Amino acid sequence: MAENKRRDFLKKAGAVTAAAAVATTIGAPSVVKAEKTYQWKMVTTWPPHFPVLGEGADKLAEMITRMSGGRLQVQVYGGGELVPALQSFDAVSQGIVEMGHGAAYYWAGKSPAAQFFAAVPFGMNAQGMNAWIYTGGGMQLWEEVYAPFNLKPMPAGNTGVQMGGWFNREIKTIEDFKGLKMRIPGLGGKVLAKAGGTAVLSAGGEIYTNLERGVIDATEWVGPYNDYKMGFYKVAKYYYYPGWHEPGTVLETFVNKKAFEALPKDLQEIVTTAAMASNLWMLCESETKNNFYLDKMVKEEGVQLKMFPPDVIRKLRAYSTEVLDEIAAKDPLSKKVYESFRKFQKQHQAWGEISESAYAGLNKV
């Protein structure tokens, strides 16, 4: 399959050009323009058609292709089909392909500031992230972070509040993280390390077996739907919430800047609008499916839901602040982004307390 796709890739290389001579009827404005069709490849960090995340990438490509009436055709490649998952950023940056789909925290090694555009421990939820990025100044900062890599970023999905992870021992105090080997990437992993645990990196396909064999003691993944598909409920006893480390993870698409700028304005608008619509679709899909699978795991599979105790949360939050402050202290761009993020979060939280939280609280009245 990967081989077939590579052949396909060679066959389709280069944009197909069609010159359009538009004849006009009487009274209509005279339009004569050269039309060109574009064949783009989108590499992703997800396995092909991976539930929600990979499906979001498929959806985005489909929207672009359909809205452009086939003038911009986007073909999606799962991680490893064309380039390895975590080389997606480089492949688009170098112009090997035009477009990518992933999550910005994968590129912390390129620019530490990237992480703020994916998930920040004790940061904002989906609604806050979207407001900050689209209308609160976040987008301009994100563009600044990706500009040196010749990339144009756009939000293209959100998982909503994730779960805290699967554990085989109860977390009663912060001491219970000492010596704990947990699969947890990004900033969350750094926080775990401060608590005395070991953040283990393992590819999606290996987590289940590692957890079963005791190579790792715990893992986080996404939310009930994705976690159910991975089968973790069969090998771990406790399912903790909430996902303090990923409260509203933003998925992204990134486009090679030259490829983007080479598009006519209408196709540019199609790409950015499709990304925005696919962003909303993904959150809806997660929210809808999570309802169902959480229920299923609790009722049919006997999963034990546990909330992290308050004192554990307080400690994790203090460590998170340390981690974020350290990143900001080392990198001026991270500092700039963090300050914007923090300021927006503070305001959003104040408003959230009398809107979303107050409203949700009525359930308990």
Instruction: CB nearer to a second copy: give 67 or 218.
Output: 67
Binding part of the chain for a second copy, among 102-110, 202-210, 309-317, 324-332 by CB under 8 A, reads 309-317
- The DSSP output letter for 263 is S
Distance CA 181, CA 219 (A): 8
Helix, strand or coil for residue 68?
Answer: coil
Residue among 147, 203, 307, 329 that touches a second copy (CB under 8 A): 307
CB of 258 to a second copy, least distance (A): 21
127 binds a second copy (CB under 8 A): yes
Residue among 8, 12, 37, 47 that touches a second copy (CB under 8 A): 37
2 binds a second copy (CB under 8 A): no
130 binds a second copy (CB under 8 A): yes
Cα 251 to Cα 57, 114, 157, 168, 304: the distances in Å are 10, 12, 5, 29, 29
13 binds a second copy (CB under 8 A): no
Distance CA 329, CA 325 (A): 6
Residue among 291, 301, 329, 330 that touches a second copy (CB under 8 A): 291
180 binds a second copy (CB under 8 A): no
49 binds a second copy (CB under 8 A): no
Residue among 97, 274, 297, 328 that touches a second copy (CB under 8 A): 274
CA dihedral of residues 339, 341, 344, 350 (deg, nearest 10): -100
Distance CA 188, CA 31 (A): 55
Q: Are 114 and 108 in contact (CB under 8 A)?
A: yes
Spell out the residues 6+ positions from residue 113 whose beta carbon is closer than 8 angstroms to its own.
Answer: 141, 145, 331, 333, 334, 336, 337, 338
The residue count for binding a second copy (CB under 8 A) is: 92
Site for a second copy in 66-85 (CB under 8 A): 66-70
Instruction: CB nearer to a second copy: give 106 or 293.
Output: 293
264 binds a second copy (CB under 8 A): yes
322 binds a second copy (CB under 8 A): no
Shortest CA distance to 139 belongs to which of 246, 254, 244? 254
Distance CA 239, CA 222 (A): 12
Buried b / exposed e along 101-132 (16+ C-beta atoms within 10 A): bbbbbbbbebbbbbbbbbbbbbbbbbbbbbbb
CB of 203 to a second copy, least distance (A): 26
CB of 303 to a second copy, least distance (A): 12
Helix, strand or coil for residue 162?
Answer: coil
Q: Which long-range contacts (CB under 8 A, 24 or more apart) does 27-31 make?
A: none
Instruction: CB nearer to a second copy: give 127 or 150.
Output: 127
Binding part of the chain for a second copy, among 43-51, 141-149, 239-247, 326-334 by CB under 8 A, reads 239-247
CB of 45 to a second copy, least distance (A): 23
16 binds a second copy (CB under 8 A): yes
Joined tokens for residue 261? 């700028």
Q: Give kind and range of the element (H or E) at residue 76.
A: strand 72-77
Site for a second copy in 138-167 (CB under 8 A): 160-161, 163
280 binds a second copy (CB under 8 A): yes
CB of 335 to a second copy, least distance (A): 22
18 binds a second copy (CB under 8 A): yes
Residue among 193, 199, 215, 276 that touches a second copy (CB under 8 A): 276
